[in-house]
Structure formats: structure tokens, C-alpha cells
Structure 1
Amino acid sequence: MKKSKVWLILGASTGLGDSAARYLKANQQKVIAIDIDDDGSIAEDVYRVADHYGPLDFIINNSNYHLLSKAVLDINDHIESTMSLLRGLKPYIRRQPPGSIINLPPQLCLINMPGEEAAAKSLQNLDTFLTGLKAELRSLDCGLHFLEPGERLV
């Protein structure tokens, strides 16, 4: 990586978010890592970060687990937390679009549980939401990338 970019990582205390933050910092990138406990305040948090550090080039959303700190095991809750957080980013994106948003799904979305036919419908709803959001963001010159580590068998 040549030119230093500004990366906002939501949910960087453990796992993939932490790994991404360490990798980017090792490659001389400016990384702002915050953990989100309430997706209702996401726009305000992002505005504060951008006002302090300058325009954001990338946003990595890895915070879905933290939004469900009560360890709710309902896939619909996990998917709704993803959609709610991405909706919460829209005011900032409309004002000053980053280059890309990279979304890491809640891990429960990647697990195929026996008897969870509703999971397939929920994942289809999430895919439909992300497809629409991607088209909306494209009009703002902002990309949306949905990374799914490992296998997803539904």
C-alpha cells in the first residue's frame, strides 16, 4: 500500500476486525477502531471520527457481534443488526462518501443450522437489502463489499 488512507473499523477489538486493524497499521495506514454498542448512534460516531481525522476512505463493518452482546442466537436479530447499522451510516455517506464500505456478516449468518429454514429466507432478505444498498451507494461513488469468510451453505 503506497498512499496512507483513513480506515474506520467498527468492531476491531477481536477477530477479523482486530486482524485488519493490525495489518493496516503495519502498512502505514491511518486506522480508527471503534466498538459500537448502539447502532442508533452510528452516524454521530462516524461524523465525530471524520471531523477529527478527515474524510474516511474506507469503512469496515465488523461490529455485528458487539451489537448483540447478550449473545442472542436468533439469526434474524443478527441480520437486522447488520441492516440497521448500514442504514445508520447513510447520513454520513450522503454527506461525504468513502471509497468503499466492507461489510463482514455476523458469524451466525455463516452457520447452517439444521431445522433453520427461516435462516435461508433471512439470508435472502439480507442479500436483497445489500444489492439495493450497493446500487444506491454506487450513485454516490461508494462501493459496498460483502465479505463472507469460510463456507456458507444454505
Structure 2
Amino acid sequence: MKKTVLITGASSGIGKEAAKYFAANNWNVIATMRNPEKETELTGNENILITRLDVQDRDSIKTAIAAGINKFGQIDTLINNAGYGQFGIFEATAEKQIRDQFDVNVFGVMDTIKAILPHFRERKEGTIINISSGAGKFTIPLISLYAASKFALEGFSEALSFELASLNIKVKIVEPGGTETNFSAVSNEAFSQTEKIADYDPFIASAAQMFQGMRDAKLVTATNVAEVIYNAATDCNDKLRYPIGNDDFGRRMAARKDMSDQEYIDFIKSGYLKYL
């Protein structure tokens, strides 16, 4: 019997490439998104079910899982990919923006996992893959809320992996960084514009220079990330974290791992202080 994967946030970027990659490797795919009526690229494949799932709508989560099981018989792997990045100065960010960041990146993941766990327990197996970020391991300026949500996701996923291992359910974390997706464009739309505080202008300008250098670096593609996700789903081991990114991402991950805490803080500061 073919295996089946449910992917959240499959309308674009990593989610869409993962849907295509799993389907090309003979998996059934439940490609979920907030507006499935707009999808055209994934249609026409009998092994792909396109259905609505909004991680901020618990009823839609339950309905999508039920639709997938009804069509394909079971779900073997859940990929929690839906997410976005809130950029900007924390002080200037509206309360709704703060709560939305955690509703999507943290609580939406938790709600989706909680909804599928009875199915996995009944089958006595299953794999959960949470798409985190390099920002779940290290921080840089202007992403305090995004980093906080991904740090939370990393801690939740790691602790959850221990309790679910006793039930033969695996939890894995994929950590992309320096990827060529539409994530930056979507995130820029979420830049905090609710309040302008002029005192931060010099800092914002210097941090923007640092970000430009990161954007100019060679990036890995969404397909590259989809390959890593597929490997995490099929490698039959208990490995928890799967980082994937460009050279700049690799340097920052290595710095966070190998430097002392203060050395790392000084390393990040040096990246934008030179523009002040």
C-alpha cells in the first residue's frame, strides 16, 4: 500500500515542492492550504488530494485529516509546514500581530498534531515533521517574534519526541535557512508598520544592510529542502534535526554551536554595528 503524507501550507514554496516531491516518489499526498480553490499546479493528479486547512481554524484541521483518511485509508506522515515570519521592531508590533505569529507557527502546529495523534496511536506508528528554521537555533536583528516562535517550536518538538517515541511515533525537525522561496516576500508584508518610532531608525537601517548581504548570498532551493524533508520521512532512524541551507546559514549554525554565548552575541552585533 502506498504511504500517505499530509502537508500544511502546500500552496507555495517549500510546502508545494514537498507535495510534488512526495507524489513523484509514489506517495499519496494530502496537500492542504487556506484557499484550495486557487490552486492549479497540483490539480489533475489522482494521488494528490487538495483540501482546505487553516491552522488557525481547528475545525478545518479535523476536516482535512478526515478527508485524507477517507480517500487514502490512512496517514503515515504529517508535515507541519504552514508558517510565516513577523519582521520588525518589537515595540512597534501590534498585539494581534504578536498573537498571530504564535497562533500560526506554534499553536497551529500543536493543534494539527493533537488532531492526528489518535490516528497515529490507533495505527501504532506515524511520523511528524515540523518545519522550523535556522531562527529556531540562532537569532538575528528584527525577527524577535519569528525567532521566539521557532525557538518554542524547537523546544516543543524535542520534548514531544521523547513522549511519542514510546508509542512508535517519530518527531523530526527540518531547519531550513538561506532558501530561495517566497517566504521573504510574504514576511515583508508582515513587517511591523503599526507604529513608527524614529529612535530605532539608525538601527533598522544598519540591520537592513546586514540583511541585504544575506539575501545576496547563493541560496538553496525549495526543492533542495523538499529532498531533505523526504529523507527525514523515509530514512527509518530516530534522528531529530535536519538542517539545510546555504553557506551563510552554515556559518551561523556553526557559530552558535562552537562559540561561547558571549562570543556569538558579539559576532552577530559585529554584523550590523559596522553600519551604524
1:131 lines up with 2:158 in the alignment? yes
Return the alpha-carbon distance in structure 2 between the equivalents of residues 55 and 103 of structure 1: 19
The corresponding residue for 1:68 is none
CA distance in 2, matches of 1:119, 1:11: 17
CA 1:73/1:124 → structure 2, altered by over 3 Å: closer, same or farther? Answer: closer
Is residue 13 of structure 1 aligned with residue 11 of structure 2?
A: yes
5 Å-filtered alignment, 1:97-112, equals: 97-105=124-132, 112=139
> Could you tell me how far apart the structure 1 residues matched to 2:108 and 2:133 are?
9
**The 10-residue stretch of structure 1 (45-54 or 102-111) with the greater mean CA deviation from structure 2:** 102-111
Post-superposition Cα deviations, 1:55-89, rounded to whole Å, max 9, x if no partner, equal 11212111234xxxxx9466544333333333333
In the aligned structure 2, how far is the partner of 1:111 from the partner of 1:124? 9
Q: Out of 58, 80, 99, which is 1:40 matched to?
A: 58
Q: Contact 1:39 / 1:85 at 8 angstroms: preserved in 2?
A: no
Q: 1:97 to 1:113 in 2, by over 3 A?
A: farther
- Contact 2:3–2:27, Cα closer than 8 Å, also in 1: yes
Task: Determine the structure 1 residue equivalent to 2:69.
Answer: 50
Residue identity matched to 1:46: I
Q: What is the count of residue pairs matched by the alignment?
A: 147
Q: TM-score, normalising length from structure 1? A: 0.72
CA deviation after TM superposition for structure 1 residue 135, in Å:
1.6
Secondary structure of 1:147's counterpart equals: strand
Structure ID, larger Rg: 2
In the alignment, structure 1 segments of 5+ residues that lack a partner are 66-70
Q: What percentage of aligned pairs have identical amino acids?
A: 32
Structure 2 unaligned spans of 5+? 34-52, 85-95, 178-248, 257-276
Determine the C-alpha separation between the residues in 2 that align with 1:52 and 1:129: 31
Mapped pair 1:149 → 2:167: no
The structure, 1 or 2, with the larger RCO (C-alpha pairs under 8 Å, 6+ apart) is 1
Any conservation in 1 of the 2:136–2:147 contact (CA below 8 Å)? no
Higher helix share: 2
Q: Aligned pair in 2 of structure 1 residues 62, 119: CA closer, same or farther (>3 Å)?
A: closer
Rounded Cα–Cα distance in structure 2 between residues aligned with 1:10 and 1:98: 20
Q: Counterpart of 1:63? A: 82
